[in-house]
Structures are given as C-alpha cells and as structure tokens.
Amino acid sequence: MDTPVVSPRVALVTGGSGGIGAAVVRRLAADGFAVAVHYAGSRDRAEDVARAARDAGATAIVVNADVADEHAVAAMFDAVERELGGIDVLVHSAGVMLLSPLGDLDLDDFDRMHRTNVRGTVVVAREAVRRVRAGGAIVTFSSTVVKLALPTYAAYAATKGAVDAMTMILAKELRGRDITVNAVAPGPTATPLFLDGKPQEAIDKLAAMPPLQRLGEPADIADAVAYLAGPARWVNGQVIYVNGGIA
C-alpha cells in the first residue's frame, strides 16, 4: 500500500526579506514549512531569503504587497494559496520604527508608522482570519518598548500597544476555529531597523539592560515564533515578551 504524501504546512511571513522576518523564514523552513517571503521594497533581498530556504530543501516563493492596502494584501494571499495550496500560519513581522521625543514628533512620521504598524496589522490579520486553515496560527509583532516606556519611543510604542489589543481580542473572536493568535514582543534586537541611527553608546546601554547582557539576535526571536507556529497549541491570546529578561 502506498504511503500518502503529506504536504508541508504553509507559512506566509510578512517583512520576510530582512532582519527578524528573514530569520523567521529560515527557522520555519528548517522546521519543514513551505514559506512565502513577503517584501514591500526589496525584491532582491526577498529572493535571496527564498533562495536560501530552497537551497536548504524547503519550498519557498516571494510575494509583494503594501500591507496597508487591502486589495494588494488579498492578491498576496491569493498568490500564496494558488502556488502553495493554502495557508496554515501567518507571521506578520512587517513594521516601521521612527523615533522622536513626542514634543518634536513629525506627524507625517507618526502617520507612516500608524499606516504600516496599525492599519497594516488590521488589514493582514483580517485577511488571515478569512484564509488560515484550522490547526493554524496567527502571530503578530508587538515590542517590549510598550512595557519599558523608553524616551523617544512614544509614537512607535503607541502603534504596538494597538497591536497588543487587537491580538488579544482576535484570539477570542476566533473561538471554535482551532486557530491560535499571539503576539511576539521582542526586546532590543540586533537588526538594521533597531541599530540604524543609534550611537554606539546607546546600543551598549541597551545591550547591558537584560540579565543576559547582550542584544537579542534575530534567531532568538525566530525561536519564539516557531514555537507559536508549531507546538504551542495551548498558548493563545498572549503577548510573549522575548527580551532576555529585560522586563
């Protein structure tokens, strides 16, 4: 009797072309997922990430969308379903961080963060609700700065506080669907998004804050995402702080 062929589970990772998103793609591919690597601006980087996943034996494609554009996002989900057969896990790591004291905040910067971090999360999560299969998971991205309340992070933290609220409510709205919904809240992590524009003194100070006395690495965050995407079926409606014990 022939052994049935088991298709891999499928994960769509927004912001998968760099930083934490790319680490998530690598980890999920290593765990046996077929992966869709989303990008907004750099197709070349997304292709590099997908190529590395394929070289490691995974199925990987690249997809493009403005995460705040509901029509583009729907088309992206269509492409993943068409090419990979469905969606089991949505990891929404795409985000924008622009720092400023609140009194000096450029409201155009705030609007940009709100559009990507808040509206983008709503648009992508709404589509995931309609597409993710039973037994799947939705993982959004928050930030430890919501709890730390560091100066210059007010506007960014406000957008991530909105993600916290949406994630916890969505978990309850999916009652009976067998889909978990959680947020990962990284602490200071050595990515271009975090390091850009910071003086070395500030980076060293942040690295010294956790009891483990270092910055997080993208792979540290990917480990937590992989847990939520796979075995963590009894973790639901939570914000998981992945920060080395900083708070």
Active site residues: 156
Q: In what order do the strands lie in the sheet with 10-14?
A: 60-64, 34-39, 10-14, 89-92, 137-141, 180-186, 239-242
Burial of residue 223, with CB atoms counted within 10 A of its CB: 0-12 exposed, 13-18 middle, 19 or more buried? middle
Placement of tokens 């009976």 in the chain: 176
Which amino acid, 167?
T
3-state secondary structure of 153: coil
The token pair at 199 is 């003086």
Among 14, 16, 31, 21, which Cα is nearest to 229's? Answer: 31
The token pair at 119 is 């509206």
Distance separating alpha carbons of residues 35 and 104, to the nearest angstrom:
41
3-state secondary structure of 234: coil
Task: Give strand ranges (E) for the chain.
Answer: 10-14, 34-39, 60-64, 89-92, 137-141, 180-186, 239-242
